[in-house]
Amino acid sequence: TSELPALMYHHISADESARGDYVITPAELEADLRWLRENGYETVSVRELDAWRRGEGELPERPVLLSFDDAQLSFMLYALPLLEEYGMCAVLAVVGGYADEHTASGDRNPAYAYMSWADVAGAAASGRVEIASHTQSMHTASGARRGCLINPGEDAAGYAAALNADLERVERSIEAAAGARPYVFA
């Protein structure tokens, strides 16, 4: 194969008025999955892609990668059941701080809540979801740091230490919930 389409999603909402650049409805997601299946696409994991790159596996004739950023609770409510129905897999990128917050709060509002660590464990146990790291607390565009970017005036060693500490923390949490360290960073 020479092409690999990658589709990236964020939030899924049953509320039509919430639709936007980063929000689709369950019906829209299902239409995407149905179109992929009807057009001969088969989902692949990053591990499968890496094995293929090393010459240790084959890819389907029409591979596609599905990715869901931020691990919003709507993934569990809408995407995972559809992945199961359509026999597909996806990468789910977890922000550790969001999972910590929603584990502690127990907030389950599908309009805005993120997955708890128990949800992450459930997604991983489904066999359809590859859990990726999306940082512990370096995801926001405001605050002391703009995402994973180096701060103005920050030296390389200080930046590397901050980034490595952040990633170590989220990777330990993912391993505790999902049973394995993440293979992918988003």
Q: What is the DSSP string of 1-40?
A: -----EEEE-EE-S-GGG-BTTEE-HHHHHHHHHHHHHTT
What is the pLDDT, as a whole number, of residue 89?
A: 98
pLDDT at 26 over 90: yes
**How does strand 23-24 pair with strand 11-12?**
parallel
Q: What is the pLDDT of residues 33-57, one digit of tens each?
A: 999 999 999 999 999 999 999 999 9
What would the mean pLDDT of 107-130 be, rounded to a whole number? 97
Provide, rounded to the nearest whole percent, the portion of the chain with pLDDT above 90: 92
H or E element at residue 83: helix 80-86
pLDDT value for 123? 98
Q: What is the pLDDT of residue 182?
A: 97
Strand 90-94 to strand 6-9: parallel, antiparallel, or no bridges (unpaired)? unpaired
User: Looking at residues 95-111, what average pLDDT do you find?
Assistant: 96
Confidence of residue 168 (pLDDT cuts 50, 70, 90): very high
Write down the pLDDT at residue 111: 95
Is the pLDDT score of 2 beyond 80?
A: no
pLDDT at 1 over 60: no
Per-residue pLDDT tens digits for 70-98: 999 999 999 999 999 999 999 999 999 99
Please, what is the average pLDDT of the chain?
95
pLDDT, mean of residues 5-31: 96
pLDDT at residue 140, as a whole number: 80
**The one-letter amino acid at 48:** E
Q: Which long-range contacts (CB under 8 A, 24 or more apart) does 107-113 make?
A: 108/73, 109/73, 110/13, 110/14, 110/73, 110/74, 110/77, 111/13, 111/15, 111/18, 112/72, 113/72, 113/73
